[in-house]
């Protein structure tokens, strides 16, 4: 049989990541189901939040690195005009 190994450098598509997260959340829900419906729902929500955080960090990190590498500083806020 052929062994399928994924290189640690190989990019994983966002769809694949979401499918894995959904599977993990479902499995977590099944594990928590023994403790009741509310516990299962809580665990599924927690897993979804963890996945959302991971996606946000993955998208923000390249932008942050670019921002920091350019030596850009925070601009001062312009004074607000008194007229509306």
- Residue 12's H or E segment, with its range, is none
- pLDDT-derived band at 60 (thresholds 50, 70, 90) equals confident
Report yes or no on 46 lying in a domain. yes
Which one is predicted more confidently, 25 or 58? 58
Report yes or no on 75 lying in a domain. no
Report yes or no on 6 lying in a domain. no
Average pLDDT of 30-35?
Answer: 68
Report yes or no on 29 lying in a domain. yes
The residue segments making up the domain with residue 64 are 14-69
CA gap 72, 25 in Å, rounded:
39
As for how many domains the chain has, the answer is 1
Report yes or no on 81 lying in a domain. no
Report yes or no on 24 lying in a domain. yes
Report yes or no on 80 lying in a domain. no
pTM, to two decimals? 0.40
Which one is predicted more confidently, 68 or 46? 46
Report yes or no on 2 lying in a domain. no
Q: What is the pLDDT of residue 32?
A: 66
């Amino acid at each position: 049989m052929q062994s399928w190994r994924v290189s640690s450098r190989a990019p994983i598509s966002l769809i694949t990541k979401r499918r894995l997260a959904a599977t993990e959340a479902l499995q977590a829900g099944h594990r928590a189901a023994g403790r009741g419906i509310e516990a299962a729902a809580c665990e599924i929500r927690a897993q979804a939040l963890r996945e959302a955080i991971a996606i946000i960090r993955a998208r923000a990190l390249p932008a942050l690195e670019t921002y920091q590498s350019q030596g850009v500083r925070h601009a001062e806020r312009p004074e607000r005009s008194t007229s509306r």
